[in-house]
Chains A and B, each alone.
Chain A
Amino acid sequence: MTRFANCDEFVERALGAAGAASAAAPRAPPSTSEVEQFKSWDKFKSMLAAINPIGAWRGDVAPGTRPAPSRASGSGFQRRRARRARAAAAGAVAAGAPLLGGQGRRADRVRRRPPREEAEAGRADDEAAARGEEAEARGPFAVARTRACKAALTPEELRRVRDAVNADDRDVVVDHFNYEVCGEHARRLGPGEWLVDEVVNYYFAMLQQRDAALVADEGEKPSHFFNSFFIPKLMGTDARSYNYAGVKRWTKKFDLFSRKRVFAPVNVGNMHWCLIMVDFELQQVRYFDSMGGGGDAYLRAMIQYLKDEHLAKKGAPLPGDWQPVRTTDDTPRQLNGYDCGVFATFCAHYASLGAPLDFSQADIPHFRDRMMIDILDKKLYSAE
């Protein structure tokens, strides 16, 4: 992140960017009146938006649109960021998907900040970048795997999706994993529809299946995916009570504590889908809500469940210092009143691979098709 000594320098640099981006000609030094004109923050914002709607000056877009001078004076972080942006752009192109969501949105947020908050924002982004790189280092294949689900469907696949979504209510579209997905459930994967438990749980069964394959191929520690009825059995339908006995036998066939992560869809008031995840490595219980809710009650109940489960099955108190983690700022958000089920399932998809949650509202229409075709094919699509 380039630091600017004062507002004038900042404006001058931005004007330089304007020259480089629009004309790609050797830039003339801005006249004094031009500089004066952009001194107020509002004008500066509108000017930046006009130059480049996705924030080229932060190095957030593909190379070529970026002004040369800032690279010369850029910090190591800036160069790293540009490299990652290039890699992401190249990867997205390779996967046949447009560069979507996360980065553009982040740049958008950053652009609204006044300059004096920049230093702070830079630090936060630095940390985020470090986390991202750490994640990539942890699972070199994870990011590639999540990219597979963004791959476009063939016309034939799209036709099958359409047929399934338009099937008659009681027609069985697919019958697998002990789930009978009928037309009335498949229809919910059409645009603008709320998801039902049948497709969410079917998808979680496919996540479990993929997890088993990863365990077999790469010796990963297995994860476990509960179905959407785990939380209502544990907490009642109103999520106000707590009853460990209700789910005590759910783990009779395996040892929960030998798992890497545990996932459960959370249905809130028969209106909203979220996700809860237990991470045994980090000793965290995380909540993912595409509306940004904290999920405190669910986090508390889940930690209490781990304590009770450990006591019941291991005969000893749960070791470690368990942290509840409420919905983080980088959890993708829905921008409407119907897509939460898709957000929750794809949060589980990404998080189960240990990948960063780099998808956004723009990906959801495609993810609905992807969910449907994967359900019809009875396995998660992988490009491998």
Chain B
Amino acid sequence: MADEEDKKPSKEAGGENSLNIRIRDQTGEETFFKVKKTTKLDKVFNAYSQRKGVNATSLRFLFDGQRVRGDQTPQDIDMDDGDQLDCMLEQQGGR
């Protein structure tokens, strides 16, 4: 899949520098994004929370169990094409 994209680079995403990533929420629903390897994930997170209609501050994003921050890029966390981020909701508890 990555090879195919190398052959026909898309103008917007910057060709081989781009990745298709998925965000999977707690119900299992997946949302797809095409991002540059060097784009800060903040952009993705904000777009995602807007689409979902939730406040971005109540969402937590994980990559293979590790917390991902908005100022990190797919490159920073070694994401490959087709990789998935988990989106979890804020948790609280007292009793």
Interface residues of A (CB under 8 A from B): 170, 177-180, 182, 184, 188, 193-198, 200-201, 226-230, 232-233, 236-237, 247, 249-252, 267-268, 270-273, 291, 334, 336-341
Contacts and interface: CB of A to CB of B under 8 A. Distances in A.
B93 A194 contact: yes
Interface residues of B, number: 19
Contacts of A251: 65
A268 B92 CA distance: 9
13 contacts: A178-B67, A179-B67, A184-B57, A194-B94, A197-B92, A233-B65, A249-B65, A272-B95, A273-B94, A334-B95, A337-B95, A338-B95, A339-B94
B94 A341 contact: yes
Nearest to A188: B92
Given A178-B68, A197-B90, A339-B94, 14 more contacts: A178-B69, A179-B67, A180-B69, A194-B92, A195-B94, A196-B91, A197-B91, A226-B65, A227-B65, A229-B62, A270-B93, A273-B93, A273-B94, A337-B94
Contact of A267 (B68, B69, B93): B93
B65 A250 contact: yes
Nearest to B24: A246
Contacts, number: 86
Contacts of A196: 90-92
A178 B66 contact: yes
Contacts of B94: 193-195, 271-273, 337-341
A267 B94 CA distance: 10
B93 A229 contact: no
Query: 3 closest pairs, A vs B, by CB?
Result: A194-B94, A250-B65, A338-B94
A251 B91 CA distance: 23
B67 to A, nearest CB: 4
Interface in B31-63: 57, 60, 62
Contacts of A197: 60, 90-92
Nearest to A226: B65
**Which interface residue of B64, B93, B95 has the most chain A CB atoms within 10 A?**
B93
Contacts of B64: 249-250, 252
A223 B42 CA distance: 32
Nearest to A237: B26
B88 interface: yes
B82 to A, nearest CB: 13
A305 to B, nearest CB: 13
Nearest to B95: A337
B95 A232 contact: no
Nearest to B66: A178
**Which interface residue of B66, B69, B90, B95 has the most chain A CB atoms within 10 A?**
B95
A340 B93 CA distance: 7
B54 to A, nearest CB: 15
Contacts of A334: 95
Given A178-B69, A252-B64, A229 B88 contact: yes
A229 B60 contact: yes
B91 A228 contact: yes
A59 B89 CA distance: 50
A266 to B, nearest CB: 9
A201 B65 contact: no
A121 to B, nearest CB: 30
A236 B95 CA distance: 20
